[in-house]
Amino acid sequence: MENPDIPAGGGPFSLENFLRDELARIQEAGLLRRLRVLDSPQTTHIVSDGRALVNFSSNDYLGLANHPALKEAARIEWEKAGFGSGASRLVCGTLAAHERLEEMISGFKRAGAALCFSSGYAAAMGTIPALCSSEDVIILDKLCHACLVDAARLSGAQLRVFPHNDVEKLESHLRWARAKHRGSRVLVVAESVYSMDGDVAPLREIVDLKDRHGAWLFLDEAHGVGVLGANGRGLAEATGVEGRIEVQMGTLGKALGTHGAYITGCRLLRDFLVNRSRSFIYSTAPPAPVAAAAARAVEILGGAEGGSLRRSLWKNIRNLGSALGIPEPPSAIIPIIVGAEAAAMAAGGDLLASGFLVPAIRYPTVARGAARLRVTLSASHSDEDVGSLAEVLKPHMAGTPTC
């Protein structure tokens, strides 16, 4: 029934009014975000708003997003299998390309099995709430990615957050969880490389602790796979704890240059997720050509070319670190902490005017007052790209520790 007190369309209560007020509030706080359209492919040299820019903002760490072998794999697959998958994997959407990709991933990761999802966000949202519910405890690092936080909240489990990389506090949460919730499942959630800080988790200690207290570990290797470890399998490989982690997640849209994500673990984990993961069950399977391109990317990562791309990436990481006079960065993500939101935006604007795309990262992605420029490096950057970036970054380095 119509309410005679409310004008048609809602008047002051209209959606439009709400949206306008909210956007004005965001803008006043200096936090308004806008989409930037690229008029070129996603590579290290891009065109946006008619301007040529050197791109230091992408997570395409190995330059695979435009690799000819990936394009070729996708082309062959779409000629063979078409584009759409038609349905959820469980209905009729599981195609040969999906199974092959999962075999490639489990082989590469030396895991019992892999299960793919449409995105990293979907992988987290589908896996964490399948493993834990209101009787259980989830303990997260303070800087975990939004999808891990959202997934933990969705699970209904009791949440505990430990300060970033603080293993003592993690241990006290583990003790608390075991004392209070004797029969519960306890899941520790951490990343290998933190996406806005570029630092790495003390993974060995975390694995020792979760073992000692009978907890499981969910490790998000989004920025570790392809970058860390002698064979590019991530921080778990680099620290020698691969066999001791219950659940690993990785994304296909970063170093693997495509789209989607995977969960690896034991065979039973895969069977369980096929039955219990809502983002897997109730969502259309990713397109076969994307899966075929991702399988090709995994093949490249595991072979000689992957090794050589990784060496190029690390040469760029070391060169930028030494040109900036900072300790050797532990990953391909190098934050230049600026502090105030407005100052970070201004610094990003300066870099843009000099022809470099380096995103300013602000609240709520990072804490208030910890705004930063986030530089990401790729194997595809040339020595000259890196050298000229260092020159324009130096004036903005005030808040970043140097050696």
Ligand X SMILES: *Cc1c(COP(=O)(O)O)cnc(C)c1O
Rounded distance, CA 113 to CA 269, Å?
Answer: 8
Closer of 252 and 337 to ligand X (Cβ): 252
Q: Considering only CA atoms, which of 98, 43, 54 is closest in space to residue 357?
A: 54
Question: For residues 57 and 44, is the Cβ–Cβ distance under 8 A?
Answer: no
Which residue in 121, 216, 218, 356 binds ligand X (CB under 6 A)? Answer: 121
DSSP result, 263-291: EEE-HHHHHHHHHH-HHHHTSBPPPHHHH
Question: For residues 210 and 216, is the Cβ–Cβ distance under 8 A?
Answer: yes
SS (H, E, C) 332-382: CEEEEEEECHHHHHHHHHHHHHCCEECCEECCCCCCCCCEEEEEECCCCCC
Tell which positions 187-226 bind ligand X, by CB under 6 A.
191, 195, 220, 222-223
Classified as helix, coil or strand, 116 is strand
Check residue 251 for interaction with ligand X (CB under 6 A): yes
Sign of CA dihedral 176, 216, 364, 227: positive
- Tell me the number of residues near ligand X by CB under 6 A: 13
Rounded distance, CA 156 to CA 9, Å?
Answer: 36
Which residue in 120, 126, 257, 335 binds ligand X (CB under 6 A)? Answer: 120
Closer of 23 and 367 to ligand X (Cβ): 367
Q: Is 213 a catalytic residue?
A: no
How near is the Cβ of 253 to ligand X at its closest, in Å?
Answer: 5
Question: For residues 138 and 187, is the Cβ–Cβ distance under 8 A?
Answer: yes
How near is the Cβ of 178 to ligand X at its closest, in Å?
Answer: 27
Strand 360-361, strand 113-117: pairing: unpaired
Closer of 191 and 237 to ligand X (Cβ): 191
Q: Which residue among 195, 283, 331, 378 is the active-site one? A: 195
How near is the Cβ of 147 to ligand X at its closest, in Å?
Answer: 5
Measure the CA dihedral 311/313/315/319, to 10°: -170
The two structure tokens encoding residue 159: 């949440």
Rounded distance, CA 43 to CA 40, Å?
Answer: 8
The mark string for 128-167 relative to ligand X (x by CB under 6 A, - otherwise) is -----------------x-x--------------------
How near is the Cβ of 382 to ligand X at its closest, in Å?
Answer: 26
Rounded distance, CA 120 to CA 252, Å?
Answer: 8
| Residue 91 CB neighbours (<10 A) | 12
Closer of 60 and 191 to ligand X (Cβ): 191
Stretch that binds ligand X, among 5-13, 14-22, 119-127, 368-376 (CB under 6 A): 119-127
Question: For residues 382 and 73, is the Cβ–Cβ distance under 8 A?
Answer: no
Closer of 221 and 341 to ligand X (Cβ): 221
HSE of 104, CA atoms in CB hemisphere, 13 A: 22
Check residue 253 for interaction with ligand X (CB under 6 A): yes
Question: Which residues neighbour 357 within 8 Å (Cβ) at sequence distance 6 or greater?
Answer: 46, 48, 53, 54, 55, 56, 57, 351
Q: Which residue among 98, 210, 213, 223 is the active-site one? A: 223
Which residue in 228, 261, 290, 371 binds ligand X (CB under 6 A)? Answer: 261
Q: Which residue among 67, 109, 210, 254 is the active-site one? A: 254
Q: Is 223 a catalytic residue?
A: yes
Check residue 119 for interaction with ligand X (CB under 6 A): yes
Tell which positions 10-49 bind ligand X, by CB under 6 A.
none
Closer of 195 and 331 to ligand X (Cβ): 195
Stretch that binds ligand X, among 113-121, 178-186, 203-211, 277-285 (CB under 6 A): 113-121
Q: Is 173 a catalytic residue?
A: no
Closer of 144 and 177 to ligand X (Cβ): 144
How near is the Cβ of 365 to ligand X at its closest, in Å?
Answer: 11
Stretch that binds ligand X, among 46-54, 85-93, 117-125, 374-382 (CB under 6 A): 117-125
Closer of 190 and 390 to ligand X (Cβ): 190
Check residue 376 for interaction with ligand X (CB under 6 A): no
Site residues (vs ligand X, CB under 6 A):
119-121, 145, 147, 191, 195, 220, 222-223, 251, 253, 261
Active-site positions read 195, 223, 254
